[in-house]
Amino acid sequence: MAVDVLVATCLGYVVLMFIVAFAADRAALRGRVKWLDHPAVYTLSLSVYCSAWTFFGAVGYATRSGLEFATIYLGPTVVFAGAWWGLRRLVRVARMHHVTSVADLISARFGKSNPLAALITLIAVTAATPYIALQLQSVSLSFRAFTQEADPVAQGGTALWVAAGLALFTILFGTRNLAADERHHGVVTAIALEAVVKLIAFLALGVFVVWGLADGPTDVVGRIAKATAEDPALVQGWLLKPDRWTALIVVSGIAVITLPRMFQVMVVEAADAERLRMAGWAFPTYLFAMSLFVLPIAVVGRELLPAGSNPDLFVLSLPLSQGQNMLALLVFLGGFSAATSMVVMSAIALATMISNHWLVPLWLWLRRRPDGDDAEDLGRFVLNARRLAILAVVGGGWVYHQASGGSAALAAMGLVAFTGMAQVFPAMLGGLLWRGATRIGAYAGVGTGLVLWMVLIFLPSVGIGATPGFPQGVDPLAGSIVLSLGANTLAFLTLSLVSFPDPVERLQGLSFVLAVEPEGPDRAGGDTARSAESLLAMSRRIWGADPALRFFQAEAVAQGKSGFLPDLTPRFLTRLERRLAGSVGTATAHAMIGRVGGGTGLSVADLMEVAGEASRAKEEARRLETARAELARTARQLREANEKLTELSVQKDSFLGQVSHELRTPMTSIRAFSELLKLPDLPEADRTRFAGIIHDEAGRLTRLLDDLLDLSVLESGGVRLNVAVANLHDLVDRAVNAASATGTGRNFVIHRDLPTEHVAVITDTDRLLQVLINIISNARKYCDAPRPELWVHVRRRPDRSTEIDIIDNGSGIDPDRQALIFEKFARLNDPMRAGGAGLGLAICREIMTALGGDITYLPGQGGAAFRVSLPHRPPLKPSASADAPNACGGGGDWNE
Amino acid sequence: MGDQTDILLIEDDHSIAEAVRFILTREGWQVAVIRDGGEAVDSIRAQRPRLVVLDLMLPNRSGSEILADLRALPDPLLARTAVLLLTAHGDAVGTAAACGADAGLAKPFANDELRALVGRLMH
């Protein structure tokens, strides 16, 4: 077949993949993820397990070692079909912690330790580089099978083009966003499509071989029997080498979980853990279909192709030798799909690990600053680090491919990678199941496994050193696997037993093993608002302005503080750290929150969480410390309460004096002016004006007396509630009108969200109206903005209580006065006195208490901000005349 | 004398200030009014009135603080400016003596009381 046809087909296929990935990304961006999130897409993406090594290599493997190739399919089958619920738990825990890679998972479990993650990244990169080289080689070789090009070095050009194209694809679709959940819809969809191509190609070839070249299944079985007679190992491998088979099944069962690309598609890209319900049967089915025709192709290929043909290329050379060029082209595309999907997914997974566990920590360390502002530009750095890492990973594979001269040694690299990544499994499984597992244990296990794997498996496979001799009768590969994994597990268990976990480890251990959300540490303290702002600034730089703001707003709403920065509650900090972990990895996120949030890690408070399962001595010491902190806190609260009491009692003592003062002031004017009225020579204009002043001052006196009377009734608790149902919208309308009708103050631009105001409230509507009028009038009197504006926000809470926030854009109330504004005569000494005696807010508070609600001042909102909270129903009181609710306001539609 | 201020009235309540100014102006005095305690001493220094009628409870700076500041001024003539203290708290004479005012008047007062006290202090 002409090379240009092949190249054109290839390019067309690549363009198709770009289009599919692009379309899927766009659909995801528009929120149309329904079909992208289908469990079938998820299951197909899992087939990234079937790399070129299995696509081409399975037939070669079968030609050389018979049915042994099936172990590579059996391991995953056992794991998925037999333990899908276990995988589901893994996915659930990992998603809960926003884990970004297998290294991140283990690091997160063992106290968010970055060195541990860096070590696992090292294993992953070491194991994957030759494996990626193998994929590039398979593409080169399959090109060669078409072109009959003899010189393998000339194929370096092919490998380079493929590598460059894959790097481009991966960078384009793998680093589009830094979104916290790290999902890549475009890539996953393209890979799911490639999975279909792989399967169709392989099945088509199988059908052609069984029914086209052989005479149907019966004939094939006969041929297999004949071949088995010549070479008993072909189908009796299990009986001949049980140790090797078992080891291979175990290793491939582990690798299907721990290989970076598998972890990426199975855990990181999973929308939720329920996908595994379908994958549990569908993925083994896929594997079965892929393996069904392996042995027939191998046996028929051995018979028909000339001796010395490369069995790894039987899948291509068989149809080519029969002149089936179109079928060969399809098979070529299948192999191309297998190779490219593996490289792309591995590159994404490894690049995340390299950037999150090597480059970002290094960057943070190099740019550490005392003010904790080191998040600057981090978002951009992370993306660039990831792109660089993709280039490095794919480039490394290509360099390795060139250096190894395209030798057959690469064929063994699949198993080498499997056994390498298997070394993280003891720490992973132990971490998920056993609370006693510790970081020291994980280091010991992973470290031991890494060293033994290097010495026993990896170095010999690249030609350094030799496979050590095992006793007669022991298969070297099985021996190496058992030895490395065994020593790894033993070191992990032993050192976990003799070492103590630190608090972060315990907390994480608890969360991982029980698969529950942990309540995070109490890291509040310091200037809350400033810290929240710096956290927002940091998140902005990482996620971009809008997503960060959305997250903070949603958190604030969840705390019942809509429109404001959330409090730095443990729950909020934990959620923020998880989200950040999705972008920069668990350990880094933990360090960043610690630095910006001002805390250094876990405080005494979290030890309460993990108490009861710790060594008694440590426990006791910490309990003492907790008690001491508790004592200090109580003492501080007492002191604060005392200070407030003193201040209040001073006020209370002078209450009579204040009443007297407030009464005497209008009386002074009244008396003076009424005497002046008696002057015979007083001009008529003055007479009228003075009479007006007397009238006004008399009114002021009356209001003061009314307020005093109102307050004393409210305070004595003898208030009668006149409960009615009303539309809050109408009440706000009336309050705004009433407040505007009073002469004092300037007019406002009032912002209201009318639809939310249409809620029914069951309360004493006149009393509520009184409170609303008071707050709005105060805003009119005191708001000092050049263009006064007022916002009214109404919110119905899930318990059907209602919150009304009234906020102006003035300079608000001094922080040191906020605690006193609800006290009687608090306005005294206020520079901005504007009539009234300073009883309004005290009355409001008494009214809201009587209504079963509350009125509070919301600090730090720019202007003066009050929140009126109203319960669903007022408290039942014998005196309340609630028996005849009369609709009040009327007119509006209620959204009860 | 022209615009020379005879009496500086420091009172934050609009109606009371108007009443006092009206009464004293009718007696033939030049009366200036300020409402803010914070600018009181500066105004006294600038206008050099012969008498200050001072309310005890003022925004920003209370009457007693203003009195203390006034009496501590380096210029002996200014520091000895006559002060009539108006107070809405019971014992006006005692409060006035305690604060260092020359006389005290309790609110509410009879207009004649005010005229008599001011007349005495101005001579």
CATH code of the domain made up of A655-714: 1.10.287.130
**How far off is chain B from A671, nearest CA to CA, in Å?**
7
ipTM at complex level = 0.93
Is residue A675 within 8 angstroms of chain B, CB to CB? yes
**B36, B89, B108: residue with CB nearest A668:** B108
User: What would the mean pLDDT of A43-63 be, rounded to a whole number?
Assistant: 88
**pLDDT (mean) for A409-432:** 86
Q: Which residue has the tokens 């070394």?
A: A423
Q: Chain A residue closest to B56 (CA)?
A: A661
Per-residue pLDDT of A759-768, as tens digits, reads: 888 888 889 9
Average pLDDT over residues A592-597: 59
A668 at B interface, C-beta within 8 A: yes
* pLDDT tens string B15-69: 999 999 999 999 999 999 998 888 889 999 999 999 999 998 887 788 889 999 9
Which SS3 state, helix, strand or coil, does residue A751 take? strand
> For A215-234, what is each residue's pLDDT tens digit?
888 998 888 888 888 777 66
Cβ contacts of B22 on chain A, cutoff 8 Å:
676, 686
Task: Tell me the CATH number at B84.
Answer: 3.40.50.2300
**Residues of A with Cβ-Cβ distance to B20 under 8 angstroms:** 672
Give B35's contacts in chain A (Cβ within 8 Å). Answer: none
Instruction: Give counts: helices (H), strands (E), chain A.
Output: 38, 7
Q: How many domains, in total, are found in chain B?
A: 1
Query: Per mean pLDDT, which range of A53-57, A237-241, A264-268 is the poorest?
Result: A237-241
User: Hey, are the CB atoms on B88 and A664 less than 8 Å from each other?
Assistant: yes
- The answer to whether position B51 is within a domain reads yes
**Which burial class, exposed, middle or buried, applies to A466 when counting CB atoms under 10 A from its CB (0-12, 13-18, 19+)?**
exposed
Q: Contact B88/A829, CB-based, under 8 Å?
A: no
Using a CB–CB cutoff of 8 Å, tell me whether B59 touches chain A: yes
A879 pLDDT exceeds 50?
A: no
Report how far residue A111's alpha carbon sits from residue A496's, in angstroms, rounded to the nearest whole number.
13
d(CA A819, nearest CA chain B) in Å = 20
**Is B2 contained in some domain?**
no
CB pair distance less than 8 Å for A669 and B88: no
Is A660 within 8 Å of chain B by CB?
Answer: yes
Angle among Cα A817, A819, A820 to the nearest 5 degrees reads 70
Residues of chain A in contact with residue B89, where contact means CB-CB under 8 angstroms, are: 657, 660-661
For the cut 80, the answer to whether the pLDDT of residue A469 exceeds it is: no
Express as a percent the part of chain B with pLDDT over 70. Answer: 97
Residue A205: the pLDDT is: 94
pLDDT given for residue A554 in this prediction: 83
Looking at residue A177, its pLDDT comes to: 65
Q: Does B34 touch chain A (CB under 8 A)?
A: no
Specify the pLDDT at position A827.
Answer: 55
- pLDDT band at A883; cut points 50, 70, 90: very low
Answer whether B109 touches A (CB < 8 Å): yes
Global pTM value: 0.57
Give the pLDDT score at A652: 60
Check residue A202 and give its pLDDT.
94
Largest CA distance in chain A: 143
* Residues of chain B neighbouring A667 (CB-CB closer than 8 A): 107-108
pLDDT number for residue A261 = 93
- pLDDT for A440: 92
- Residue B114, domain member (yes or no): yes
Q: Which of A125-134, A559-568, A780-789, A858-867 has the lowest mean pLDDT?
A: A559-568
At A735, give phi and psi (nearest 5°): -65, -45
Q: How far is CA A160 from CA A143, A398, A662, A767, in A?
A: 13, 7, 91, 80
The yes-or-no verdict on residue A386 having pLDDT over 80 is: yes
3-state secondary structure (DSSP) of residue A269: coil
Just give the CATH number of A720-870.
Answer: 3.30.565.10
> B27 — contact with chain A (CB < 8 Å)?
no
Name the minimum distance, in Å, from the CA of B57 to any CA of chain A: 8
Is the Cβ pair A672, B16 closer than 8 Å?
A: yes
Chain segment A264-278, per-residue pLDDT in tens: 999 888 878 888 888
Is the pLDDT reported for residue A373 higher than 60? no
**Rounded mean pLDDT, A753-757:** 85
In this prediction, residue A657 has a pLDDT band, given cuts at 50, 70 and 90, of: confident
Q: Is A665 on the interface with B (CB under 8 A)?
A: yes
Interface of A with B in 53-112 (CB under 8 A): none
Check if A657 contacts B (Cβ < 8 Å).
Answer: yes
Give yes or no for residue A596 having a pLDDT over 70.
no
Answer yes or no: is B56 within a domain: yes
Residue type, B2: G
Provide CATH code, domain A3-498: 1.20.1730.10
Choose from A221-235, A380-394, A571-585 the range with maximum mean pLDDT.
A380-394
**B59 chain-A contacts, CB cut-off 8 A:** 829-833
pLDDT at A62: 86
Going from N- to C-terminal start, the domains of chain A cover: 3-498, 521-598, 655-714, 720-870
Are B16 and A669 an interchain contact pair (Cβ–Cβ within 8 Å)?
yes
**Domain hosting residue B30, numbered range:** 7-122
A405: confidence class by pLDDT, cuts 50, 70, 90: low
Count the neighbouring beta carbons within 10 Å of the beta carbon of residue B77: 8
Average pLDDT over residues A825-836: 51
At residue A453, the pLDDT reads: 92
Mark yes or no for CB contact B107/A664 under 8 Å.
yes
pLDDT at A162: 82
Residue B93 at interface with chain A, using a CB cutoff of 8 Å: no
Confidence label for A884 from pLDDT (cuts 50, 70 and 90): very low
CA distance B23 to chain A (A): 8
- Token pair of A668, please? 């002074």
